[in-house]
Amino acid sequence: MSTEPSVWVARVCLIAAALLWSISSLFMRLLSAPLGLGLEEPQLTPLQIAFFRGFFGGLLMLILLRREHMRFHPAMLGMVATFTIMSGLYLSALGLGAAANAIFLQNTAPMWVYVCSIWLLGERPSRRGWQAVCLSAVGAGIIVAGGWPSDLPPEKSQHSANVLLMGLGSGFAYAGVILFLRALRVYATTWLVTLNLLGTAGMLAAFVLLRDGVAGFYTWVTTPTPPQLRVLIAFGLLQMALPYYLFTRGLRTIPAAEAALIGLLEPVFSPLWAYLLTPETDTPTLPMLFGGGLILLAILWRYVPMASSTQHTNTPGLSASSTSTSAPTPTTSSGP
């Protein structure tokens, strides 16, 4: 019996994943802003947060993983590397700049996915999908233009530009993650998510170990206080493990381009959580609000008329062993 979710169940999984992803700004502000909770000291770097988030989220998925799920494909190495780059760039942009800028710029991913999914996965995005991507691209462009540094001292201008470039880079890497997950969808969801989370923690640990040596790595990894560790555990479980499990399940049925558009719900809600905690630094500007509104409009334009009809077309995946009970056959993809 197929373990793939139905089209609408898959979309619900993707929506839930996007909403859980959106709480990243909440956790980052808890760990960095002086909110009277004592969580901002000692100050954790974005790479430390990415390491612990991946480590604790990966441990949860490891508990759920079964041995028969563990089947390897060479593309998984690229998936883990891309996931690590995405996490490092995104959390760096989120920790060093305004939440809304980092969040919206990461979600330029659908533009890259729509182009790449045609050539790499053989998927055919719909006309309305292309229109939605163009609309969301205009929204992202407005946000970038509104946040681009001007009339600032050189050091602050360079810092702001670097943060914007980190956000754009994380969007490109995020598109790569989506494409890898879609291509590898015939493998067990728990296995893919476990690889990404623990692989991210392992690659970041190796980077710090090579950069700082054993003594430096020990200091780096023992910095968080017990209260900070509790927040990092929740960060890994609620914002990484659970949403990526739901997202990967949804990608078994939903084409990569459509999944990327649903993921644009994240930048609509994530700045809101940051604003509720730190309104003095995360009050959305007019370009952020207007650009975010266009992104939300793009999602509505793509999905409101979909209830009338749905087509299914086959899309290729990277096959696993035919004897694996955890690796369903390539799925049927939906399209308008």
Q: Structure tokens of 39?
A: 């969580």
Copy the structure tokens of residue 1: 């019996």
pLDDT at 152: 60
Contact 200/54 with Cβ under 8 angstroms?
yes
> Torsions phi, psi of 129, nearest 5?
-65, -45
What per-residue confidence (pLDDT) applies to 123? 67
The pLDDT, as a whole number, for residue 321 is: 39
Which one-letter amino acid corresponds to residue 57?
A: G
Tally the C-alpha atoms within 13 A of residue 299's C-alpha that lie toward its C-beta: 20
Q: What does the pLDDT read at residue 78? A: 94
Report yes or no: 137 and 105 within 8 Å, Cβ to Cβ: no
pLDDT at 218: 95
Residue 310 CB neighbour total at 10 angstroms = 11
Torsion 180-85-80-31 (CA) sign: negative
Q: What pLDDT does 104 receive?
A: 66
For the chain of 336 residues, list the mean pLDDT of each consecutive stretch of 10.
72 92 89 86 90 92 88 93 90 72 70 73 74 82 71 66 79 87 86 92 93 94 95 93 87 79 78 83 78 77 56 43 34 31
pLDDT for res 168: 79
Structure tokens at 171: 């969007």
Residue type at position 332: T
Amino acid, single-letter form, for residue 183: A
Q: Quick one: pLDDT at residue 304?
A: 63
Cβ atoms within 10 A of the Cβ of 326, count? 20
What was the pLDDT predicted at 315? 39
Task: Output the pLDDT for position 93.
Answer: 79
pLDDT in tens, 150-206: 666 666 666 677 777 888 788 889 888 888 988 898 898 889 989 999 999 999 999
Cα Rg, the chain, nearest whole Å: 20
State the pLDDT at residue 209.
Answer: 94
C-alpha to C-alpha distance for 98 and 25, rounded to whole angstroms: 10
Dihedral sign (CA 257, 5, 269, 304): positive
By C-alpha distance, which of 283, 233, 261 is closest to 175? 261
In contact, 32 and 278? CB cutoff 8 Å: no
Two tokens, residue 144: 């970038």
CA–CA separation, 212 and 245 (whole Å): 33
User: pLDDT value at position 114?
Assistant: 73
